[in-house]
Structure 1
Amino acid sequence: MATAATAQATRPTPEGTYWYWRDQAIHHVVAGESRDDRPPLLLVHGFGASTDHWRKNIQGLQADFQVWAIDLLGFGRSAKPDWHYSGDLWQAQLHEFITEVIGRPVVLAGNSLGGYASLCVAANHPESAAGLVLLNSAGPFSTPAQTPPPPPNPIAKAIQSLMLQPLPSWLLFQYVRQPAIIRRTLRQVYLDKTAITDQLVEDIRRPALDPGAPRVFASVFKSRQGEKVDELLKKLSCPLLMLWGEGDPWMNCRDKGAQFRQHYPDLTEHYLQAGHCPHDEVPDQVNSLLRDWVLTNLTQ
């Protein structure tokens, strides 16, 4: 099995092209041949990432599937207009991309924010989703009715209020997009530090230099939470594969996995020795599990 140290040797992401959605340029890549007996894959990155984050998976899966990857509006090489960014916006983008460009149902595979957007599509637009793969997916569950809401944190509320102001938000963004800070953040969320290459740091930094990037960053503090995960799971009808990097410091994967099983018991799940981005940190394991699951459950 290849290790993360081989990341430098992987081929670059296939050359991309653009689709215009709501008059905005949306970057995407495709590799592999379309097959009648199995659905294509659509890979959806997390916050701050892009199609580049899937290069190891595109390379490893394109022999068996047609593999698409897309930059969500506001990220990667896609346009970054001064819009209100939300799960609803990215849900609409993905659904219309599947309908207009791919032209058939896909297996949506999403990491973090991309996982939540993919779940929204699969739940609300079942005609677009043959299957769903979630990798350390973001998104809140409902608070049980008998559980009183936690008291407001005055410090957190003050910070959020401050970040709603243009100048503090802009200054924070200038800080977090520095290469040293990007690398430090990656070291917090990757177990295998050899996976944190100069190329990975640059792949994350490059889109952050685009003129519209600070406004996208600021919109995080302004966006309301979308549909709760349990509400979406009530509507979900396609097969679901959960892949967890259980070394993720941003979420308790075992607890969150139990919540998914409670609301959608007919799922398949695997826990991997990786952090928040298992598809990039242990790509061979992720590719193998995803390939076998699709070929077992979704081929004609």
Structure 2
Amino acid sequence: MQYRDWYFRGWRSRYGFRRSQNVDPTKPPILLIHGFGAAIDHWRGNIPALAENHTVYAIDLLGFGNSEKPPTRYSIHLWVEQVFQFWQKFIKVPMVIIGNSIGALVAAIAASHHPEIASGVVVISLPDIDAFNNLVPKALQPIERTVKAIVSAILVKPLFHLIRQPFTIRLVLKGIVYGDRRRVDNELVEIIAEPARDRQAAEAFLRLNRSINQPNYSPSLTQALEQLQAPLLILWGSSDRLIPPSEGKRLVKYAPNATLMYLEGMGHCAHDDNPERVNHEILTWLA
């Protein structure tokens, strides 16, 4: 992977690309979008296989990885615009967008709002923010947001200094995120820990937490799926402890051209839990 910086709205953004000598010019390029707290290198087990016949790009969303972490209002809208401008600048032909978790949500909405950019979309554990918010009765939502804002202002920064410690990262990944605990190695812990050491990271983390509780954090996922023109592959680890795998069965009904596949024993980051299986499923579907 070769790494470069470009500027989005004046902020430094990191991206990587890999173009092998065997790239088939008839095959679409691929863009990889990581999940919350992750970075480009979280695709460590996928890039080599995907790049055998496709040009592969990966980006660090603003606020994560080696991209800048400015004190701005973070939202799915912001990251969708980052993806769209990246496509306009570097890719310019229909691509396959592959995302995990928050990156999956960005991928689905970017492809729906800008249909010219996507020839296909692969989402791995797709979060529906509206569905989480609707668990709280509408009348109580303003109160809930106020309480969360107060708690966030007091606790999030001190909590962040604990969360970013390698031993905490390892504990959370092994206990909650991954199905195969053997995949939680020193390289993975460092992929997540390194960006958290940035001078701007604590403030960005506070703003990320604050923004996710705002009512207009994300466009409607179900509406985006209904309008999505590109074929969609939904992959879900059967052992995902962060988002119930049953969400896959609910969401697939909204997308007219979607395939849902459960991956036995894998967790929330199936692409890194078992890269060989996920690479096989993606490449088979693309073929």
Q: When the two structures are superposed, what TM-score results if normalisation uses the length of structure 1? A: 0.87
Q: Partner amino acid for 1:106?
A: M
Match of residue 173, structure 1, among 140, 160, 164: 160
Q: How does 1:31-50 map to 2 (within 5 A)?
A: 31-33=18-20, 35-50=24-39
Aligned equivalent of 2:208: 220
Aligned equivalent of 1:93: 82
Q: How does 1:1-300 map to 2 (within 5 A)?
A: 14-33=1-20, 35-141=24-130, 149=137, 152=140, 160-165=148-153, 167-187=154-174, 188-223=176-211, 224=214, 225-253=217-245, 255-272=246-263, 273-295=265-287
Q: When the two structures are superposed, what TM-score results if normalisation uses the length of structure 2? A: 0.90
More displaced 10-residue stretch of structure 1: 153-162 or 213-222: 153-162
Q: Partner amino acid for 1:137?
A: L
Cα distance in 1 between the residues matched to 2:11 and 2:179: 37
Cα distance in 2 between the residues matched to 1:36 and 1:161: 49
Q: Contact 2:149/2:210 (CA < 8 Å) preserved in 1?
A: no
Alpha-carbon shift at residue 156 of structure 1 (Å): 6.3
Alpha-carbon shift at residue 151 of structure 1 (Å): 7.1
CA 1:148 to 1:156, structure 2 compared with 1: closer, same or farther past 3 Å? Answer: closer
Cα distance in 2 between the residues matched to 1:16 and 1:50: 12
Q: Contact 2:252/2:260 (CA < 8 Å) preserved in 1?
A: no
Q: Partner amino acid for 1:185?
A: V
Q: Contact 1:113/1:139 (CA < 8 Å) preserved in 2?
A: no
Q: Contact 1:47/1:114 (CA < 8 Å) preserved in 2?
A: yes
Unaligned 5+ residue runs, structure 1?
Answer: 1-13, 296-300
| Counterpart secondary structure, 2:88 | helix
Identical aligned pairs, as a percentage?
Answer: 35
| Counterpart secondary structure, 1:56 | coil
Cα distance in 1 between the residues matched to 2:110 and 2:225: 11
RMSD of aligned Cα (Å): 2.2
Alpha-carbon shift at residue 270 of structure 1 (Å): 1.3
Aligned residues: 278
Q: Contact 1:38/1:65 (CA < 8 Å) preserved in 2?
A: yes
Q: Deviations over 1:166-193 (max 9, x none)?
A: x532101111111111111101111111
| Counterpart secondary structure, 1:268 | strand
| Counterpart secondary structure, 1:263 | coil
